[in-house]
Structure 1
Amino acid sequence: MIIGIWLAVLAGSLVSLQNIFNSKVNQHVSSWGTTTLVLGMGFAASLLLGLVFEGKRMFHLVNMQPWYWISGIIGVGVVICLVQALKRLEPTFSISIVMTSQLGFALLWDSMGWLGLEKVPFRLSQLVGVLVIIAGIVVFKTGGSLGRPKRKQTPNRKESEPAV
């Protein structure tokens, strides 16, 4: 279990790192160019590493439903949407929304047993957990200033300096 937790933490850090790189690439090329570059390099790296570690076994696709192959197309949607979200939102805010969305939809698909998943009984505590995360994102984004009037700040003036 510990190894699984560490791998999940590593995956999360790599996703965040990839998003930073994607946003930097997107500053120089279009979103579609970014997506093509990212997924093209991912394909090349996956193919090379797969051949090194698994050889021809990598292409042995026994008992796989062909519609599972659309995962690559879904990956295009993931990269395009993330790049666009990062353009419009702060990176931490957009990633926190993405992660919460992942958790919420995973809860839905598990609870419904959709897409060939084993149906997992829905518990109210799971929904409360997702809602607590959403509340945390709201607090993070607003800085806990909901309901408080914002202080007006004058640029290039310290609070100790008198107004002119």
Structure 2
Amino acid sequence: MLIGLLLALLAGSLVGLQNIFNSRVNERAGTWPTTTLVLGLGFLASFLIGLAIEGKRLFHLEHMEPWFWFSGIVGVGVVVCMVNGMKWLGPTYTISIVMCSQLFFALLWDSFGFLGLEVVPFTMKQLVGVLVIGSGILLFKFGGAREIRAAVASREEA
């Protein structure tokens, strides 16, 4: 379990770092060149590392549902939405909202057994957890707005 927690923490830090890189590339190149660069380099890196570690086993893709192959297309949507969301909201709010959305939809898909997942019974405790996180994002975004406006106004008067 500890290894799983450490890997999840590492993944979260890498996603945050990747989104900052993607945002910087997007500022200079635009959405579609950024998406192409990110996913193209990701393909190349994973292909070469996969070959080095797995060898010929990399190409054994037996017993896979055909619709699983569309994951890469979903990745295009993720990158496009993230880089554009960061342009409008900044990294902190975008990533916070994405995390809340991930939790909500994971809860929904687990509860219905979507795409062959094992059904996990829906509980109010899970819903409250997602709502608390969402409320935290709203508080983080709008909670100090009045104080910030007052500080800006006092600086302008000085």
Consecutive unaligned residues of structure 1, counting only runs of 5 or more, are 158-162
**TM-score, scaled to structure 1:** 0.90
CA deviation after TM superposition for structure 1 residue 101, in Å: 0.3
Q: Distance in 2 between matches of 1:108 and 1:85?
A: 23
Alignment coverage as a number of residue pairs: 158
Report the equivalent of 2:105: 105
Q: Distance in 2 between matches of 1:149 and 1:44?
A: 45
When the two chains are superposed, the root-mean-square deviation of aligned CA atoms in Å is 1.9
Report the equivalent of 1:44: 44
User: What stretches of structure 1 move > 2 A for 4+ residues in a row?
Assistant: 143-146, 148-157
Q: Distance in 1 between matches of 2:131 and 2:45?
A: 37
**Structure whose CA Rg is larger:** 1
Q: Distance in 2 between matches of 1:119 and 1:9?
A: 26
Query: 1:91 is aligned with what amino acid?
Result: P
CA deviation after TM superposition for structure 1 residue 153, in Å: 2.9
Consecutive unaligned residues of structure 2, counting only runs of 5 or more, are none
Query: 2:77 is aligned with what amino acid?
Result: G
Report the equivalent of 2:131: 131
Q: Distance in 2 between matches of 1:155 and 1:41?
A: 48
Cα gap change, 1:61 to 1:17, in 2 (>3 Å):
same
- State the percentage of identical aligned residues: 61
CA deviation after TM superposition for structure 1 residue 151, in Å: 2.4
Query: 2:65 is aligned with what amino acid?
Result: Q
